[in-house]
Amino acid sequence: MATLTVPSSVPAVAEDCEQLHKAFEGWGTNEELIISILAHRNAAQRRAIRRAYADVYGKELLRALGDEIHGKFERAVILWTLDPAERDAVLANEEAKKWHPGGRALVEIACARTPAQLFAAKQAYHDRFKRSLEEDVAAHVTGDFRKLLVPLVSAYRYDGPEVNTSLAHSEAKILHEKIDKKAYSDEEIIRILTTRSKAQLLATFNSYKDQFGHAINKDLKADPKDEFLATLRAIIRCFTCPDRYFEKLIRLALGGVGTDEDALTRVITTRAEVDLKLIKEAYQKRNSVPLERAVAKDTTRDYEDILLALLGAE
Amino acid sequence: MATLTVPSSVPAVAEDCEQLHKAFEGWGTNEELIISILAHRNAAQRRAIRRAYADVYGKELLRALGDEIHGKFERAVILWTLDPAERDAVLANEEAKKWHPGGRALVEIACARTPAQLFAAKQAYHDRFKRSLEEDVAAHVTGDFRKLLVPLVSAYRYDGPEVNTSLAHSEAKILHEKIDKKAYSDEEIIRILTTRSKAQLLATFNSYKDQFGHAINKDLKADPKDEFLATLRAIIRCFTCPDRYFEKLIRLALGGVGTDEDALTRVITTRAEVDLKLIKEAYQKRNSVPLERAVAKDTTRDYEDILLALLGAE
């Protein structure tokens, strides 16, 4: 379900490095060449290229890229080239430091990754920032959002398929009771959403629907402008339907006055190797337009080119 | 600083298994033989013995032990034989399920292990219980203790030596301000204690002493009977002076009316391969009696024998 396309015969790592080095040489930069290599290598291949490049040329590839390219294009190339765990660490750190209630990177990293991937991001966070993700979130986020986001990024959830149906039933009741009283930041809501396994939560949300006749997210829309409620809904959607969650994010990123490049770049770079094909299908279905066409309409030049390459455009 | 003694030439794993199997055969059990093997093998060696025993005899070694031995002796042998991470998972699960304010196993596992060891215990918890440690603690513990213990077992702390001294200064101030107002379960106290790295916390406690003239634990003794305060002090002592923390635990376990075998067994089995030598030294220094002698006085038979073996008694 990835959109990443890797050539059937991949050049040797040394050859890729040499080509990249060529792309940086002389007057101007050969952006096309950069895209033709990096946007068509998987995480392990990009890692090998980074390692070999530093060995041969005595300079980090990411630094060399940063010296040559700029702006939105640079950000897309750098985020994409990073290892998934490192990329998550960078995104989480940026959001934690300048946190605002509409931020979604932390929610996505905590809920749209496996528990093992979230843990790998936390290890990468240690290596890169010499601090922990949880301490930065706890230090910068405030109020109800802190009560929610610190446990959300902290818990190492169980990842197995086992479900306790009577627990799902009783916890659906607890959720309904609290939501009914508009006690959205109640400890019990936070406890359930931040500690239960994905399989258990899906069973709980199903039981909620069965018992009360609405999807839980319907009941969490009481005030559409409330950012805390929007965050709760994002958490639930990242668990229940990540493809439609990301489709909507892209739709809003492309749909407004101006384009939200930050969101667009984040979704495409973090999902191209995961489920961007499903997101594309959801987009086409919802908007009757291929996602590639919508992206091409709202972006230009090298930035457009790398996004389209990652989207698997022919 | 471990007390575990392993013979200079260790028998082959197959030989150990055969001897253990012999100890179980016929009338009665050869407890001495069990101790002479298991109490003198390190974690990797015990793991190899467990694996080989199951292969050769078609029965888990721990199950075979459970069929042969009983009571306090069984508990000590089983806890000791487990892998450290698995042992922590078992101890954490027991305490989470029947949680009471005087429980210390969760605090020890969260604060007297490295972050990597705590994470290994959480992985072992998943494997063994098909749930997460954090969800069990969150579901069973209540009130202020939940607010404290859930983040305590959840956070993946940074483990490096870097210290931010101005942060230590300002967070010492925050701690003092909250303690001064007796706001012991304040979010900020919990945030600092549960997310900062060990090195950072040590700097913060030092700064506290420098700024306010008392060790923080002195100021947390306002009400010596308050179990929440006692838990905060235990957390701080597990970071600052684990040997003296465990010395005191053993002293109280041996000192009361009757012996607290649970605490005694837990400390000896979890520390024998870590720092039990330091704990013994602290005990001798504080009580003017060798720990082996105090343990021998309060325990009997096979239970005494395995504890003394793990204490490194000649």
What is the DSSP code string of B189-215? HHHHHHHS-HHHHHHHHHHHHHHHSS-
| DSSP code of residue B171 | H
Quote the tokens at residue B97: 């399920």
Q: Are B293 and B111 in contact (CB under 8 A)?
A: no
pLDDT score at B21:
95
**Model confidence over A262-306: pLDDT tens digits?**
999 999 999 999 999 999 999 999 999 999 999 999 999 999 999
Residue A314 has pLDDT above 80, yes or no: no
Task: Say which of B122, B151, B196 has its CB closest to residue A151.
Answer: B151
Quote the tokens at residue B47: 């793991």
Residue B314 has pLDDT above 80, yes or no: no
CA distance A140 to chain B (A): 11
| Of residues B257 and A102, more confidently modeled | A102
Annotated binding site of B for Ca(2+): 24, 26, 28, 68, 258, 296, 298-299, 304
Cα distance between residue A141 and residue A147, in whole Å: 9
Best to test chain A binding among B88, B140, B145, B150 (most A CBs inside 10 Å):
B150
Q: Binding residue per annotation — A24?
A: yes
Residue carrying structure tokens 């899906």: A202
| DSSP code of residue A11 | P
A135 and B162 within 8 Å at the Cβ level: the answer is: no
Helix, strand, coil percentages, rounded to 5, for chain B: 70, 0, 30
What is the average pLDDT across A13-28? 92
A134 and B156 within 8 Å at the Cβ level: the answer is: yes
pLDDT score at B28:
84
Cα distance between residue B252 and residue B193, in whole Å: 25
Quote the tokens at residue A4: 């990443």
CA distance A84 to chain B (A): 19
Residue A135 CB neighbours (<10 A): 25
pLDDT score at B121:
98
Cα distance between residue A267 and residue B60, in whole Å: 48
A151 and B150 within 8 Å at the Cβ level: the answer is: yes
Residue carrying structure tokens 């396309």: A5
Residue B207 has pLDDT above 80, yes or no: yes
Share of chain B above pLDDT 70, in %: 100
Quote the tokens at residue A107: 């929610």
B135 and A122 within 8 Å at the Cβ level: the answer is: no
pLDDT score at A23:
94
pLDDT score at A40:
97
CA distance A299 to chain B (A): 39
Cα distance between residue B185 and residue B114, in whole Å: 25
Cα distance between residue A35 and residue A20, in whole Å: 10
pLDDT score at A27:
78
pLDDT score at B27:
78
Q: Are B145 and B104 in contact (CB under 8 A)?
A: no
Cα distance between residue B234 and residue B248, in whole Å: 11
Query: Which amino acid is present at A92?
Result: A
A132 and B187 within 8 Å at the Cβ level: the answer is: no
Q: How confident is the model at residue B166 (pLDDT cuts 50, 70, 90)?
A: very high
Give me the domains of chain A, ranges plus CATH numbers: 13-69 (1.10.220.10), 84-154 (1.10.220.10), 165-223+232-240 (1.10.220.10), 242-310 (1.10.220.10)
Report which of B114, B81, B107 is spatially closest to residue B249, judged by C-alpha positions. B107
- Residues of chain A in contact with residue B120, where contact means CB-CB under 8 angstroms, are none
Quote the tokens at residue A172: 């659906």
Q: Is B62 helix (H, G, I), strand (E, B) or coil?
A: helix
**Model confidence over B75-132: pLDDT tens digits?**
999 999 999 999 999 999 999 999 999 999 999 999 999 999 999 999 999 999 999 9
Cα distance between residue A264 and residue A296, in whole Å: 12
Report which of B156, B138, B135, B159 is spatially closest to residue B147, judged by C-alpha positions. B138
Q: Which residue of B has its CA nearest to A140?
A: B191
Cα distance between residue B288 and residue B290, in whole Å: 7
What is the average pLDDT across A223-243? 96
Report which of B123, B90, B79 is spatially closest to residue B271, judged by C-alpha positions. B79
State residue A29 phi and psi, 5-degree precision: -125, 145
Cα distance between residue B190 and residue B184, in whole Å: 9
Cα distance between residue B183 and residue B195, in whole Å: 19
Query: Can you tell me the ipTM of this complex?
Result: 0.92
Q: How confident is the model at residue B257 (pLDDT cuts 50, 70, 90)?
A: confident
State residue B18 phi and psi, 5-degree precision: -60, -45
* Sign of the C-alpha dihedral computed for residues A38, A44, A48 and A51 taken in this order: positive
CA dihedral A213, A216, A221, A223 (to 10 degrees): 100
Q: How confident is the model at residue A255 (pLDDT cuts 50, 70, 90)?
A: confident
Residue B26 has pLDDT above 80, yes or no: no
Best to test chain B binding among A88, A141, A195 (most B CBs inside 10 Å):
A195
Mean pLDDT of chain A: 96
